Chains A and B, each alone.
Chain A
Amino acid sequence: MGTKENARDCEKERTKIRCVKTMKDIMTTYYIDAKTAEENGKKVAWITSGGPVEPLIAMDVIPVYPENHGAMIGATKMADDLCAKAEEMGYSRDLCSYARSDIACATVNGGPIGGLPRPDMLVCCNNICGTVLKWYEVQARFFNVPLFILDTPITHTAYSKAQHRYVADQFNNYMAFLEEHCGKPFDFDRLEEVGRLSLKGQKLWQAVLDTTMNRPAPMSAFDAFFHLALIVTLRGTQTAVDYYQALLDEMNERVSLSISAVPKEEIRLMWDNLPVWYRTKWLSDTFAGHNACLVADTYTSAWCSSLRFLDENDFFNSMVEGYSRIYLNTGVDAMAEEVLSMVERYKADGLVMHSNRSCKPYSLGQYDIQRIVQERAGVPVLVMEADMCDSRNFSESQIQTRIDAFMELVRANL
């Protein structure tokens, strides 16, 4: 073996994020726990990614996230078959591919982990989209289990008192629902404890994401897509807090050692929308080939997007506003402002927007955001059409050409 290769291997070893292994172990344990819940006398609730999970944890219910499952299905390239199966069942090909994958998967127990554990109840919060409402109706019929809906009206330009009262009323109903289906009184003290952990986890996650403000960035958005899993699934637990503390330490260490995500970072880009799960490696390599690092994204930061509304001394009441005012539940202009401030904070030289056929609330309005960012931040913006899970809507050669052209533009604009 030549010394060159040896050196390359050493370099690879040095730049690998060590926490990746821990994360895989935690996720494996989590899914084993979830899949053996019944034997251990525990209940399982399926919940939407933007839903209030803390009350479930306070009640010892294991939360399971079909969207996280959808991401795994996408990343393991198993979505095309499952989506096709959903189409056979009568679901239109134009529906969200998480929903299609999950709906089909439930009937065959397929996918990367042989299907999710059967739910005892479903908790659907529509603060991310109207799709989840319809999707959970489908699953509530299929599994014949109770469905709790937390209806959080969108805050186009304002957050009204009436809507606050409405969501607050429903949080009370949520506690009652959990009491009924868990057969025990709701533990409010425990909730405050879980809430503190949840906030701690979110703050740590934000701190991890913020390490990319360093030049070169110690991690990229592609790493963030991976490490996101715990803030979604284990938010509110000590496990998540410990994990993100370790990850933060590792990132800080990388900063001090100048270990970067992209070897020769020259260009810093921002990403918008969900990842293209089945092509993260390809996209990451393609951008790295241009010495470009994706330093920030709107997706993984969405799980800290309402930190300012949450109060660690009154978690129960602050959840109302916190869960109503997340990134996707605001107007397109408010989203554009957020993107602009991120471009500024992370010093991005360009913005890549994934126009995601699956996700209308995230994607419709992107053209306007594109224009606003181009005008006000003066950076080039690429909109590329794809789908987060269904690779039948991905044209590699076309996207390659568009990325190459875009990178030239960004370079000329530096």
Chain B
Amino acid sequence: MQIQENPALKAEARNLSFFYGNTQALKGINMPIHDKKVTALIGPSGCGKSTYLRSFNRMHDLYPGNRYEGEIRFFPDNTNLLSPEVDPIEVRMRIGMVFQKPNPFPKTIYENVAYGLRVRGERNKRTLDDKVEHALRGAAIWDEVKDRLQDLAPNLSGGQQQRLCIARALATDPELLLFDEPTSALDPIATGAIEELVHELKKRVTILIVTHNMQQAARVSDYTAYMYLGEMIEFGKTDEIFLKPNDKRTEDYITGRMG
């Protein structure tokens, strides 16, 4: 896999710490997110990788007592995503998220995808139709649902629901997609389809993915970060991390050893 040496950055965490009340979950994370690349976050449960991921679209703002330190710079405009002046709703327009368990709205397939567009004020039926189709095609599910757009989304299979959720995230044309263990509830075929999709999607969008499946991180990502106890232990090109990590803690984790 060829990766250009100094690819442009889509985002960058700078000395990012995060506190759930008095508990510090992230400890001074510095990490680049390369533009139109897939970056995987790996590490044992409780290492802070999901906390880190969720900081990007300000999900922690939903609960009182949570506190950020440091910043996440978002490019090209160099916005600090964590700045109190930045509206979380605006952030979420530019940064989509896909969760571990598919969570379609209890609406039709069409409405699931059109939802974000309607929230943005899109009313034109023709535009909505076009954008829904474009997003469904982008999520590689169009052929399976084009004749049943008015069916209820929860009636789809798990793998289809997850791809629908990806289409929903794509509909608003986000610049960054966050995936939080997107395939842990799916069978190997559906997992393969999502991984294939991630590979396609990175042509147009930057992706940050949390996964417990090490082989998945190795397969889909260009860069990998290993996190442990709220710290980022090692960040590097995926090819190097999985063949010759520099830190013994990374080595122990990816080889399945007890530290």
Answer yes or no: do A and B interact.
no
Q: B residues near A, CB below 8 A?
A: none
Q: A residues near B, CB below 8 A?
A: none
